[in-house]
Structure 1
C-alpha cells in the first residue's frame, strides 16, 4: 500500500521553494483496540453528544465550540470565526534558521516524520538542500501550520530524505520537580557504586529497536487469542519489588546475572 502523506506543501528556504510531503514516521495502527459493548446484548455501544441540561441528542450542525467563562456560561464561536483567526500559510513550511541537532533538548521532541520531495515533482531543489545541510552538519528550525495549529519543526538530513520532528512549545514542557533534584544529594557507598558500575559495563550495548516489544499490547493479543480459541486466560505474575533495605542484595543478584 502506498504511503499516505500527512501534509503537502512548500519548504521555503529564503527565496528557494521546495515542494515537499510530510509522512508519519510512527503509528499506533497495529495496536490491539477494543470497542465498548453492552454486557447484556453484546451489541456495540456508540457515543452520542447530548445536551447536558435536556439530555437530548444534539445534531452535528448544531454542535459549536464554546469557551467556558465560568458560572455555566460559554462564549459560542461559529466555525467561520475560528477559521478567520487561524494563521495563514497552511501550505508553507518556512525555515527560520539552522542549528546543531544536539542543541535541542529531547524534552521538546514531539511526533516524528519523514519529509520527502512531493510526488511527480523534480527532486533537484530537494537534493540540493538535503546535501547542503548534510555537508554543513546542521538541522533546520522551521514553522508551519499543521493540522490547524502553528507548529515548530526540527528538520535534519536522513537517508534519502529529511527527518522531522514537531516540537513542543516552551510553555508545554514542564519544569523538573524539585524533589527529583534531591537525588544529587544522595551519598552512595563505594561498594554499591562498584556493583552498579559492573552491571552497567556488562550490559552496555547499542540501541536496537527490534529488541523492544510492546508487552502490554502482546498481553492483550494473547488474551484475545485465548478467548477466540476458548482457552483459559493465564494471569501474569507481577515482578517482585525490592525493599529499600535489600538494595545491596539486589545489586549483588543483578551483578551475578549480568556476569
Structure 2
C-alpha cells in the first residue's frame, strides 16, 4: 500500500476537501553499493565537521545561509513556523486551458485522493468538471520546506497533481546554448522527403511496448561477471549524417521503412495518397484506419485473454517474467491475464 507524502485541504472557491498526495511514479534504477577496490568493504558517507574532522550527530545539525562573509543560522523548526497554514492548504487560484501549459513546465506527477470515502462526491465533482472543461487548476502549496507551483488535472476518473517549474527556472535556449543554429531556409525537396520519412515511421503510442533495455543489459553484465563470462558489447552510436549525403540518407531511410512489412507499406501508401487526395478525404481515411486498428487490437486482446484464462497462476507469472511486465509479483491471477493480454502475450527472447 502506498504511503501519502502530504495531506491537507484542497479548495476551489468556497468548496474544500481533505486530500492526500501519493507519488504516481517509481524508478526501477539498478543501484550499486560503493566498495573499496580489491575488497568487499562498503564505503559510506558521513556528516563530518570539515574543521575538526569529527562526525556530527543529526540532532546537532542546523541550516546556515551563506551571506558571503558569515552564515545566518536557521533552526529547522523556524522554517515550519513561517508557513504553518500554507503547508496544509492547496488552494486553486484559477483554472486555465490545458493546452496553454507548455510541457516544459511539468516536473513530477502525484495522485490526489480524498482523505476518506465520505468526500467522494466533492472529489468526483471537481474531477468531472475538469474533464468536461478540459482545464487544469493552478495552485501553490508548501511541502517539505519548499513552495510548489502545481496543476491539478483530471486523469480518467481520478485527480492528479503535477508540480511545475517556476517561470524563472526555465532556461532561454538561445542565451544558454551557443551551438543552436539560426532558423534557416530548408529546401522544399528535402523537407518533403523528411515529412514522408516521418509518416512512414509513424506508429500508435503504446508505452507498454517500450522496455528499459539498458537495465536488462546491466543485470546481464552482473550475472555474466559472477559466472566468469563476458558480455557482447553494444553497437557503437550512429555516425553523424554528412550534409552532402542528407537527401540520400532520407531516401534510403524511407526505402528501409517501406521494406519493413505490411505496416510499413500501408504507411508508405498513405504518404502517396496525401499528395493527390484532399484534406477532408485524408482525415476521413485516417479516422477509418484508427477505428480498424482499435477494433483489431480489441479483438486480439480478447482472444489472448481467452487463451490465457486456461493457464494457472504459476504459468501466468512465468510468462509475465519472460515478458518483463513490471509489478507482476503483486498481481492477482486476473491482473496477470489482463497485463499479458495488453502486452500481446509475447515472450522475450532469452539472450544466448
Q: Aligned residue for 2:209?
A: 211
Equivalence for 1:191: 189
3-state SS, counterpart of residue 147 of structure 2: strand
Deviation at 1:103, TM superposition (A): 0.9
The answer to whether the 8 A contact 2:241-2:249 is kept is no
Partner residue of 1:230? 228
Q: Does 1:94 align with 2:91?
A: yes
Structure 2 length as normaliser, TM-score? Answer: 0.67
Normalized per residue, the structure richer in strand is 1
Tell me the CA shift for residue 247 of structure 1.
2.5
Number of the residue aligned with 1:7: 6
For the residues of structure 2 that align with 1:55 and 1:47, how far apart are their CA atoms? 13
Give the superposition deviation at 1:32: 0.7
Structure 1 stretches of at least 4 aligned residues deviating more than 6 Å after TM superposition: none
What is the aligned residue count? 255
What CA distance in whole angstroms lies between the structure 1 residues aligned with 2:235 and 2:93?
52
SS in 1 for 2:249: helix
- Between 1 and 2, higher relative CO (CA 8 Å, sep ≥ 6) is seen in 1
1:1-259 correspondence to structure 2 within 5 Å: 2-28=1-27, 30-70=28-68, 73-86=70-83, 88-178=85-175, 179=178, 182-185=181-184, 187-244=185-242, 245-259=244-258
Residues 87, 145 of structure 1: 8 Å contact kept:
no
Query: How many angstroms apart in 2 are the aligned matches of 1:24 and 1:61?
Result: 28
Aligned partners of 2:172 and 2:84: how far apart in 1? 29
Structure 2 SS opposite 1:222: helix
Greater shift in the superposed pair: 84-93 or 54-63? 84-93
Point out where structure 1 has 5 or more consecutive residues left out of the alignment.
none
**Which structure has the highest helix share of the two?**
2
Q: 1:157 to 1:243 in 2, by over 3 A?
A: closer
* Farther-moved stretch of structure 1 (196-205 vs 213-222): 213-222
TM-score, normalised on structure 1? 0.89
Question: Of the two, which has the highest radius of gyration?
Answer: 2
Aligned equivalents of 1:173 and 1:125: distance in 2?
35
Distance in 1 (CA, whole Å) between partners of 2:234 and 2:189 is 35
CA RMSD of aligned residues (A): 2.1
SS in 1 for 2:107: strand
